[in-house]
């Protein structure tokens, strides 16, 4: 594997407004956004391509 140093607690590793971004991605891929548990359950079954395509607005 590839060894990378660092920690998830570094400032650059933190995502700003993660819950709001997750809701936008969920809406983009057709998942419900009014209930967090249902949203997460739906997102878990979406193909990776759909998730990354839904996140294109954040890149």
Q: Report the predicted TM-score, pTM, of the whole model to 2 decimal places.
A: 0.70
Question: Is 43 contained in some domain?
Answer: yes
Radius of gyration of the chain (CA): 14
Is residue 52 in some structural domain? yes
Write down the pLDDT at residue 35: 97
Q: What is the pLDDT of residue 55?
A: 85
Q: Which pair of tokens denotes residue 11? A: 């400032």
Per-residue pLDDT, 34: 97
pLDDT at 45: 96
Rounded to whole angstroms, how far apart are CA atoms 23 and 37? 12
Q: Is 10 domain-assigned?
A: no
The number of folded domains in the chain is: 1
Cβ neighbour number for residue 54 with a 10 Å cutoff: 20
Q: Is residue 44 a part of any domain in this protein?
A: yes
Higher-pLDDT residue of 57 and 7 is: 57
Q: Which domain holds residue 27?
A: 17-58
pLDDT, one tens digit per residue, over 2-52 is 656 666 666 666 678 889 989 999 999 999 999 999 999 999 999 999 999
For the chain, the residue count is 59
CA distance 5 to 12: 13
- Residues 6+ positions from 58 with CB-CB distance below 8 Å: 21
Q: Does any domain span residue 48?
A: yes
């Amino acid at each position: 594997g590839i060894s990378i140093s660092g920690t998830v607690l570094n400032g650059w590793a933190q995502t700003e407004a993660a819950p709001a971004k997750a809701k936008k991605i969920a809406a983009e891929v057709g998942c419900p956004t009014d209930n967090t548990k249902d949203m997460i359950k739906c997102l878990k079954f979406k193909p990776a391509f759909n998730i990354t395509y839904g996140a294109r607005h954040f890149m």
